[in-house]
């Protein structure tokens, strides 16, 4: 449960409230009060990166509305309605939901591990790239310059590949979070 007493909404959130929930957002104070109410009655989903890869806490109200806060939980960054498939209730849905939540936690741990690996690889490769650039600058041999350029390209490619893997995991994590929030599985 989040402490809603001191919650603030961003300008982006206020604009989204006016677009999507105009009856509850004639002014910023009214929109803030509505979001406080929604957050008090929401289910916490977990830490979910948004489309830009910025982490935030995701809450779901009545399996219909997603609310994102920043990592401190003090600022609501966005709110939107979740499209939902209106299937009939399936008897084993709770078991499936628990599996989804378990996989979500696994994805979160994997994402954190991969982020650390990206940072470590980036630092290591940037150091090697700096040495290769220095070597390329100081040598007169065209073959050495060519070898340095090839090694630099390989190191930069390795960094890009790991970053893309993190983005893929974040995207999948976002989809699982929305499935949990909407009971759409």
Based on the domain organization, do 164 and 122 belong to the same domain?
Answer: yes
Q: Tens digit of pLDDT per residue, the chain (185 long)? A: 577 788 899 999 999 999 988 898 889 999 999 999 999 999 999 998 877 888 899 999 888 899 999 988 889 998 988 876 545 556 777 788 889 899 999 999 999 999 999 999 999 999 999 999 999 999 999 999 999 999 999 999 999 999 999 999 999 999 888 888 887 77
Residues 73 and 98 in one domain: no
Residues 74, 97: one domain?
A: no
SS3 140: coil
Cβ pair 67, 4 in contact under 8 A: no
Which residues are CB-contacts of 92 (< 8 A; sequence separation ≥ 6)? none
The arrangement of strands across the sheet holding 55-61 comes to: 8-9, 75-81, 65-69, 55-61, 43-49
Instruction: Answer whether residue 87 is part of any domain.
Output: no
Domain with 45 in it: 8-81
Query: Is 86 within a domain?
Result: no
Strand duo 65-69 + 55-61: pairing: antiparallel
77 with 97, same domain: the answer is no
This prediction has a pTM of 0.67
Of the residues 81, 111, 133, the one at which a domain ends:
81
Same structural domain, 97 and 178: yes
Residue at which a domain ends, from 81, 112, 128: 81
Question: 70 and 101, same structural domain?
Answer: no
């Amino acid at each position: 449960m989040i402490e809603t007493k001191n919650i603030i909404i961003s300008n982006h959130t206020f604009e989204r409230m006016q677009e999507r929930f105009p009856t509850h957002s004639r002014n910023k104070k009214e929109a803030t009060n509505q979001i406080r109410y929604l957050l008090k009655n929401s289910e916490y989903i977990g830490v979910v990166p948004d489309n830009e890869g910025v982490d935030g806490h995701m809450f779901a109200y009545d399996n219909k509305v997603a609310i994102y806060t920043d990592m401190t939980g003090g600022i609501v960054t966005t709110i939107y309605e979740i499209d939902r498939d209106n299937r009939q209730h399936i008897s084993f849905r709770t078991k499936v939901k628990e599996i989804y939540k378990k996989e979500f936690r696994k994805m979160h741990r994997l994402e954190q591990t991969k982020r650390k690996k990206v940072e470590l690889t980036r630092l290591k490769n940037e150091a090697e790239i700096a040495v290769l650039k220095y070597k390329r600058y100081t040598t007169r041999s065209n073959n050495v310059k060519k070898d340095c350029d090839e090694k630099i390209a390989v190191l930069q490619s390795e960094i890009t590949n790991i970053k893309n893997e993190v983005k893929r995991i974040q995207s999948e994590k976002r989809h699982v979070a929305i499935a949990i929030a909407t009971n759409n599985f």
